[in-house]
Amino acid sequence: MRFAVLGSGSQGNGTLIASGDTYILVDCGFSLRETERRLALLGVSPTQLSAVLVTHEHADHVHGVGLLARRYNVPVYLSQGTLRGMRKPVEATGFLAARGSLRIGDLEVSAARVEHDALEPLQYVISDGQRRFGMLTDLGCYDTHLLDSYQGLDALVIEANHCRDLLARGHYPYFLKQRVGGDQGHLNNHQAARLVSELGWQNLQHLVLAHLSSKNNLPHLARQCFVDTLGCDPDWLQVANQDHGLDWREIA
């Protein structure tokens, strides 16, 4: 089992998880041409995609979903709320809801509800039966139910969206600062690090910090916050950026 990130940030998101001949793309926030380009850099053709999972309807997560699905006949799975919220609806192959699951080829998908300013946002844990990969971005807070859903992971991609101080001192208008930093916004560095600490991280092979704000965060600030909270090796932490994402990582 392995995973890669096409790109992560407010300009577009996409994460690829693979096992055998099964390739699942979580979100497609890039144009079709850019998606094709980024997949090619990972050695993958869109014709190899087994499915697209959509987390929620915001443009940086769904911009290219419809075109990709229609051009290459890729099945799309999402929540009914997400479909209602999309400006350009797609033809859904099936629907997922919180605590629901779905088998796609060699991989089992489990859905978890998160708090975010969308209609029915979901995040996903994906397993090949032996190893578990967790995707956890675009949420403003968490509870014990969410922590329970993410137990026993071998790899985790987690949002470290903003630094509290940079957001407070930044140029965003007050309402936007409240939205980003609120319970239905995005996790800041400290919240994300605390979540991982509560989850337990010692058995993780990979911990990837993602969805960093280009205006309200810096990679070294996010990394240092996790090092201070977890006491982990800074070189072990990985950061998925907007332009280059993250190359393939194997989950042994």
Per residue in 20-69, pLDDT tens? 999 999 999 999 999 999 999 999 999 999 999 999 999 999 999 999 99
Q: Residue 55's closest CA among 139, 127, 165, 156?
A: 139
State the pairing for strand pair 101-104/94-95.
unpaired
Q: What is the spatial distance between Cα 247 and Cα 15, in angstroms, rounded to a whole number?
A: 10
Q: Which residues pair with 207 in a beta bridge?
A: 156
pLDDT at 145: 96
Where exactly are the structural domains of the chain? 2-246
Q: To which residue do tokens 């096409």 refer?
A: 6
Q: DSSP secondary-structure letter at 77?
A: E
- Structure tokens given for 25: 């793309």
CATH number of the domain located at residue range(s) 2-246 in this protein: 3.60.15.10
To the nearest whole percent, how much of the chain has pLDDT over 70?
100
User: Does the predicted TM-score (pTM) go above 0.95?
Assistant: yes
Per residue in 111-155, pLDDT tens? 999 999 999 999 999 999 999 999 999 999 999 999 999 999 999
To the nearest whole percent, how much of the chain has pLDDT over 90?
99
Per residue in 188-227, pLDDT tens? 999 999 999 999 999 999 999 999 999 999 999 999 999 9
Instruction: Characterize 105-128 residue by residue with b for buried, 16 or more Cβ atoms within 10 angstroms of its Cβ, and e for exposed.
Output: ebbbbbbbbbbbbbebbbbbbbbb
